[in-house]
Amino acid sequence: MPVSLPMSLPMSLPETDPTPPRPVIVLVEPQLAENIGMTARAMGNFGLADLRLVAPKGGWPKKGVREAASGATHVLDGVRVFATVAQAVADLTYVLATTARERGQMKRVFGPDAAMRDVTGRLARGERVGILFGRERVGLSNDEVSLADAIVTFPVDPRHASLNLAQSVLLVSYEWRRAADLARLPFGGGMRSPPAPREALLSLFESLEAALDAAGYYPPEKRGGMVRNMRDMLHRMAMTEQDVRTFRGALRALTRRPPEA
């Protein structure tokens, strides 16, 4: 069965989201401009803006990072660089560490969905929250994980557990937007034309059946079942008023007598 959808989503959204408090993203010693740019883009896609870098390898800013960020230059323009993780999280009251593997640390472990539900609650109560993401190849050190209150990990296929850095930021940003109740679709599946009244539909069925009668389509002993089958099929289209007019026009064209030569 198709999932039912609200059909009355707004067709246009206001220019600016209401801006609830948002978590900070902290990349620890990121190396590739591509990954930092894609991280900024992913944050922008889901409404995050505060990006902090700890000792980016090769310095900052990096060549190529703006291209990879696509339109998210506001995120790059706001980047703050720190020498250590402790400095990057100094003003925060709650810190999550992302990691793909067990560290033997006695911390709570969340998936990105549960983590962001918890985080939106904390932010609403005035906490300042950050999420640590480790180096491309080796992630966070155990000492860096020790600076966090809890751990976030991802429900990956254990045979292919290595998520790209920007991909893991994307999942956290996506889940934050959902948890913050901002996850509206940019457009809906609303029909431009209202659903057809039964009367219009029945009248269309009768016109179609009359045309098929005239064309000798139905074997008389099977007509009843064939009519019902075709009505079932047409009902599944859930026709709008416009659909009925379109169908009638096509039927008229098919049954019109050819012009005299």
Where does this chain bind a second copy (CB under 8 A)? 1-3, 5, 9, 11, 13, 15-17, 34, 38, 41-42, 44-47, 70-72, 100-102, 104, 106-111, 114-115, 117-118, 121, 150-151, 153-164, 166-167, 170-171, 174, 177-178, 182-189, 191-192, 240, 243
Q: What is the DSSP letter of 158?
A: G
Query: Whose Cβ is closer to a second copy: residue 26's or residue 116's?
Result: 116
**Strand ranges inside the chain, DSSP E:** 24-28, 51-54, 80-82, 94-98, 108-110, 129-133, 150-152
Question: At its nearest, how many Å lie between a second copy and the CB of residue 222?
Answer: 28
Query: Whose Cβ is closer to a second copy: residue 114's or residue 211's?
Result: 114
Tokens of 149: 């209150």
C-alpha to C-alpha distance for 260 and 212, rounded to whole angstroms:
23
Query: Whose Cβ is closer to a second copy: residue 63's or residue 192's?
Result: 192
Query: Whose Cβ is closer to a second copy: residue 54's or residue 92's?
Result: 92
Question: At its nearest, how many Å lie between a second copy and the CB of residue 138?
Answer: 14
Q: Which residues contact 165 (CB under 8 A, 6 or more apart)?
A: 27, 30, 35, 38, 39, 133, 136
Question: At its nearest, how many Å lie between a second copy and the CB of residue 225?
Answer: 25
Question: At its nearest, how many Å lie between a second copy and the CB of residue 9?
Answer: 8
Question: At its nearest, how many Å lie between a second copy and the CB of residue 209?
Answer: 25
**Can you tell me whether residue 111 is helix, strand or coil?**
coil
In angstroms, what CA-CA distances link 21 with 95, 177, 180?
Answer: 15, 11, 9
Tokens of 24: 């900070």
Query: Whose Cβ is closer to a second copy: residue 147's or residue 171's?
Result: 171
